[in-house]
């Protein structure tokens, strides 16, 4: 068997395998025997008909087709091993030549992704987190007061602290005339915030733009969403909002005292309530800061990195993006087809313009994180794994779906426990990788080799994925692409 490989620009390899005549002849005889096992030939028991009889009965074309199937199963994995190629997905058979003499098969092999991080350890990004002060605690307590406030309808323009009802319609400024709006929410309740809130809908500071609007009046508000907006369907878009005010209700806030704290929850005093509010604020603010910090750090690392992957790898990630979107739409009682119809958009265009850019970003960040974990020799101790499992299991038990499933059951099935264990291990692995990145970027990192010598016994947290197997192809389908990959 002779093997030749040629690298392509799209991180794939064209691999040509040439066999000798004896290999093809042997495959044809084995193929004839298999055909005679499956198909009835008068006068012979299954599998016992001579080659010449099978040839006369079914013809050389049928035998050659079966022989090629047998050869593909055998030669593709051997050729990958000899050529020292690591595939990322099943390969495809591009063409076949000289089947009656020296058969030549040409495969297209997608290679496993490759990442060169460059000098990522030289990157510096200070970790400048600041804890929320007492003023933030005051704001959160005031929000609780507003939740328990009594309201009354007033006939005046909107002021800060009011509850209002509006009809909201939002349209993409670049959409064709007559296309469906992005937002259409009649009777939407809005609280007029005292300050801009990051999680305010539809964007931070929206409610403050409503002040001064009187009942039955309308106002047009324009907003351009950031390119990295958390809602992938809004990222980078300019939207024009039409607002019509239907109702204004002013708030009568409860007194801020121990009785109010007891009204809100199991708190003995106002100070006890403030302590819990402060703890929750601290946790949330850390999460928000680190989400932003690591997003910026990954972008800096990406600037120095060289990332290569085959089209099949990206297509696989696009499938994940679509599955995630379908899951979110299902929660809203909508499917992908209806969603695209509401936006008057073809699926191919949606994939190319919206799903693919998201997939590229997610894929490249994931590849960078994996490579950093490998470069920094990230491993997990038993204590870390146990702690992560306990936290993940606690979250899982609090899920309403799990509680419903476990109704009347004394013990969850092993598959669920295994799934939680895998999820907790992946979380812990990611957390340790991010922790190491922060140490490097802030200039406090200990070299990985020194760290490894001092570390406690480790447990491997990730299993290496099995290499893709050769994909079976018949001559009639020789030019078709590799089959659908299984999504995770």
Q: Does 459 or 371 have the greater pLDDT score?
A: 371
pLDDT above 80 for 409: no
Residue 128 lies in a domain: yes
Asked whether residue 487 is assigned to any structural domain, the reply reads: no
SS3 258: helix
The torsion angle over the Cα atoms of residues 7, 9, 11 and 12, rounded to 10 degrees, is -50
**Together in a domain, 185 and 221:** yes
Same-domain pairing of 350 and 388: no
Look at the chain and report how many structural domains it folds into: 5
Residue 481, domain member (yes or no): no
Residue range(s) defining the domain that contains residue 341: 311-376
My answer on whether 54 and 182 are in the same domain is: no
129 lies in some domain: yes
Question: Within this chain, do residues 129 and 274 fall inside the same structural domain, yes or no?
Answer: yes
CATH of the domain at 32: 3.30.70.1050
Report in angstroms the alpha-carbon separations of 240 from 62, 177, 179, 181, 347: 64, 13, 13, 10, 25
Give CA angle at 134 (142, 125), nearest 5°: 120
**Tens-digit pLDDT profile for residues 91-127:** 999 998 877 778 889 999 999 999 999 999 999 999 9
- Tell me which of 469 and 52 has the higher pLDDT: 52
pLDDT at residue 195 greater than cutoff 50: yes
Confidence check: pLDDT of 470 > 70? no
Q: What is the pLDDT of residue 454?
A: 52
pLDDT: is 84 or 465 the higher one?
A: 84
Residues 188 and 243 in one domain: yes
Whether residue 230 is contained in a domain is answered as yes
Boundary of a domain, candidates 304, 326, 342:
304
The residues facing 109 across adjacent strands are 13
pLDDT of 410 reads 74
Residues 292 and 430 in one domain: no
Please indicate, yes or no, whether residues 16 and 98 belong to a single structural domain of this protein. yes
pLDDT in tens, 323-369: 999 998 888 888 899 888 888 889 999 999 999 999 999 999 999 99
Least confident of 299-308, 334-343, 422-431: 334-343
Residue-wise pLDDT for 245-301, tens only, equals 999 999 888 999 999 999 999 999 999 999 999 999 999 999 999 999 999 999 999
pLDDT digits (tens, 9 = 90+) for 222-236: 999 988 887 777 888
Could you tell me if residue 482 is inside a domain? no
Tell me the percentage of the chain whose pLDDT exceeds 90: 55
Task: Judge if 124 and 263 occupy the same domain.
Answer: yes
Residue 456, pLDDT > 50, answer no
Report, as an integer, the average pLDDT of 175-198: 85
Both 57 and 172 in a single domain? no
- What's 202's domain CATH number? 3.10.50.40
Label residue 84 left, alpha or beta by phi (over 0 means left) and psi (-120 to 50 means alpha): left
Q: DSSP string covering 97-138, please?
A: E-TTSS-EEEEEEEBPPEEE--SGGG-----------HHHHH
Same domain, 248 and 261: no
Q: Does residue 130 sit within a domain?
A: yes
Lowest-confidence segment of 41-55, 153-167, 205-219, 345-359 by average pLDDT: 41-55
Establish if 9 belongs to a structural domain.
yes
- Across the range 366-384, mean pLDDT stands at 95
Find, among 252, 242, 250, 243, the residue nearest to 159 by Cα.
Answer: 250
Are 174 and 261 in a shared domain? Answer: no
Based on the domain organization, do 31 and 104 belong to the same domain?
yes
Q: Which residues contact 105 (CB under 8 A, 6 or more apart)?
A: 16, 17, 19, 71, 72, 75, 93, 95, 96
pLDDT at 457: 47
- Among 182, 343, 180, 158, CA closest to 244: 158
pLDDT of residue 453: 53
Confidence of residue 450 (pLDDT cuts 50, 70, 90): low
């Amino acid at each position: 068997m002779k093997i030749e490989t040629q690298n392509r620009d799209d991180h794939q390899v064209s691999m040509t395998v040439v066999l000798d005549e004896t290999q093809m002849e042997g495959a044809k005889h084995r193929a004839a025997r298999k055909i005679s096992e499956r198909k009835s030939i008068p006068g012979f028991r299954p599998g016992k008909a001579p080659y010449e009889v099978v040839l006369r009965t079914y013809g050389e074309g049928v035998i050659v087709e079966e022989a090629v199937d047998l050869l593909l199963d055998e030669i593709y994995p051997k050729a990958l091993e000899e050529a020292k190629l690591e595939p990322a997905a099943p390969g495809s058979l591009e063409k076949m030549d000289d089947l009656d003499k020296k058969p030549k098969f040409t495969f297209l092999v997608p290679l496993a992704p490759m990442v060169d991080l460059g000098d990522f350890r030289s990157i510096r990004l200070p970790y400048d987190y600041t804890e929320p002060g007492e003023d933030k605690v005051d704001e959160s307590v005031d929000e609780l007061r507003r939740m328990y406030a009594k309201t009354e309808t007033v006939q005046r323009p909107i002021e800060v602290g009011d509850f209002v009802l509006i009809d909201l319609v939002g349209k993409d400024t670049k959409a064709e005339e007559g296309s469906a709006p992005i937002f259409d929410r009649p009777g939407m309740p809005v609280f007029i915030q005292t300050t801009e809130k990051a999680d305010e809908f539809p964007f931070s500071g929206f409610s403050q733009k409503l002040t001064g609007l009187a009942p039955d009046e309308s106002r047009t508000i324009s907003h351009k969403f950031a390119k990295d907006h958390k809602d992938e369907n809004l990222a980078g878009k300019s939207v024009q909002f039409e607002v019509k005010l239907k109702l204004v209700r002013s708030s009568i806030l409860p007194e801020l005292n121990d009785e109010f704290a007891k009204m809100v929850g199991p708190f003995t005093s106002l100070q006890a309530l403030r302590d819990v509010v402060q703890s929750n604020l601290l946790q949330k603010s850390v999460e928000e800061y680190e989400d932003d910090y690591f997003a910026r750090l990954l972008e800096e690392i990406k600037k120095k990195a060289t990332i290569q992957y085959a089209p099949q790898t990206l297509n696989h990630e696009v499938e994940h993006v679509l599955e995630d979107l379908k899951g979110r739409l299902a929660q809203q009682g909508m499917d992908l087809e209806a969603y695209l119809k509401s936006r008057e958009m073809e699926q191919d265009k949606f994939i190319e313009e919206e799903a693919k850019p998201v997939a590229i970003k997610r894929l490249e960040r994931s590849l960078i994180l994996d490579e950093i974990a490998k470069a920094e020799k990230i491993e997990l101790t038993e204590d870390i794994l146990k702690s992560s499992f306990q936290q993940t299991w606690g979250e899982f038990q609090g899920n309403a779906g799990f509680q419903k499933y476990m109704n009347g059951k004394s013990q969850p099935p092993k598959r669920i426990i295994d799934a939680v264990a895998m999820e907790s291990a992946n979380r812990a692995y990611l957390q340790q990788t991010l922790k190491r990145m922060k140490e490097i970027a802030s200039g406090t990192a200990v070299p990985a080799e020194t760290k490894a010598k001092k570390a406690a016994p480790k447990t491997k947290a990730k299993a290496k994925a099995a290499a893709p197997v050769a994909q079976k192809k018949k001559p009639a389908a020789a030019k078709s692409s590799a089959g659908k990959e299984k999504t995770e």
